[in-house]
Amino acid sequence: MAKNFDGDNGYRLGALALASMAALACQTSGRAGDDGARVLQQRHVDAERLGQLLSSPTLSSAMGKLGDPWTRILSAAESKAFTDDLNYKTAAGIGLPELLSVDLDVRGYAVQVVDPLPGSPAARAGLKTGDILETIDGRPSEGRPWKEIMAALRVPEGQTVELGVRNRQEGLHSVKLKSEPLAAPVLVEGQATGTSTASIQLRGFTDRTAPDLAGLLASLEPAELELDLRDNPGGSVAAMLAVAGLFVGAQPVLAMRGAKGAEEPLKATGEQRFTGPLKVRINEGSASAAEALALALRYAKRATIVGRKTFGKCLVHDLVPLSDGRSLLVTIGRLHAPGQRPWCAEGVTPDTPG
């Protein structure tokens, strides 16, 4: 696996979820290689910097020169597994979905746990943010293609996978996880904390997050709110912008630096539903879209951010269908607050530690 990455010009491996599914309709010549190569030339985040590398006549040769393990071809089955992971719809597994729960550490390129799904075999076994998966069923993880790693972690129901896990507390130790049916997690949950205050926890971002949050706000009717984004691995960019809209209304809150250096403003969507004082709580398990929401609310001067520094993921991907039935997962941008640097690898620093 290529290792020519850094926190700014390179890739923070593991990223924000898709901006939209199949957002690009390519003009194709009928050959999958042609339309895929054109997608890379037109949409890859580093198309300008890589220049002639992306002008290779075939998709495979262009991808071989990218040095971006997240940009890859997915079969129809792999595409379904990927989108199921992203939307918290995986029927069975060990609780380590792609983009949401496993990543590659930018310093050592080891497979790293972000946030295991609550209640899953991985969570019950004690896996936590920052754990390194050194081996999977006895095979070293470092240097293996990301596609192989995810295939090894997507264990059919009833089968077991053995992970060699390293952390500061326990050193290297073995964890055996048996795949089981996974219940859909509750992503929005909250309660009153006083006569006029409430706390709401968001555990992920799907198309249901904003509507469910709006309903909870209407039910609780708080004058002051704490929004808890701790141990939130992220999800859909569009869903995150809909959540931001509940607090700021429709206005620009972020920007995405994409292909050829172009900068696209990203707007919060929908109608503002809460106007009172807002505190957002984060930690090292707040990743991707959760980091983006915290940064967006701070940029709009709507929230005070408290807690600990976040994980540090800012890439955006899109899944593009190819003419042969496969799909191309392509890195299309880096998110940042307007006028600021992307937070890849650095994370979001709270206003108030605690």
Residue 285, token pair as written in the block: 């398990």
Q: How many helices and strands (H and E) does the chain possess? A: 9, 19
pLDDT given for residue 26 in this prediction: 29
Residue 68, token pair as written in the block: 């971006």
Domain limits, the chain? 90-181, 188-353
Phi, psi dihedral angles at 199 (to 5 degrees): -130, 130
CATH for 90-181 is 2.30.42.10
Q: Which of 115, 117, 130 is nearest to 89 (CA)?
A: 117
Collapse the DSSP code of 167 into the 3-class scheme (helix H, G, I; strand E, B; otherwise coil) and give the result: strand
Based on the number of CB atoms within 10 Å of its own CB, is 42 exposed (0-12), middle (13-18) or buried (19 or more)? middle
* Residues in CB range of 1: below 8 A, 6 or more apart: 69, 109, 143, 144, 145, 146
CB 90, CB 84: distance < 8 Å: yes
Give the single-character DSSP code of 182: -
Residue 264, token pair as written in the block: 């696209």
Q: Which of 243, 252, 301 is nearest to 272 (CA)?
A: 243
CA distances from 301 to 80, 175, 271, 286, 351 (A): 39, 44, 17, 20, 12
pLDDT given for residue 23 in this prediction: 30
pLDDT given for residue 107 in this prediction: 57
Question: Mind listing the pLDDT tens digit of every residue in the chain (354 residues)?
Answer: 233 323 333 443 334 545 433 332 222 333 445 578 788 888 888 887 777 666 666 777 777 777 787 888 899 999 999 999 988 999 999 999 988 899 877 555 689 999 999 999 999 999 999 999 999 999 999 888 888 999 999 999 999 999 999 998 899 999 999 999 999 889 999 999 999 999 999 999 999 999 999 999 999 999 999 999 999 999 999 999 999 999 999 999 999 988 877 789 999 999 999 999 999 999 999 999 999 999 999 999 999 999 999 998 888 889 999 888 899 999 899 898 888 877 776 889 999 998
Residue 142, token pair as written in the block: 């470092």
Strands (E), 159-298: 160-167, 171-178, 180-181, 188-192, 197-202, 224-228, 252-257, 263-267, 278-282
Residue burial 165-179, b: 16+ Cβ < 10 Å; e: rest: bebeeeeeeebebeb
Q: Domain 188-353 adopts which CATH fold?
A: 2-enoyl-CoA Hydratase; Chain A, domain 1 (3.90.226)
| Same fold across 90-181 and 188-353 | no
Tell me the pTM. Answer: 0.86
pLDDT given for residue 204 in this prediction: 95
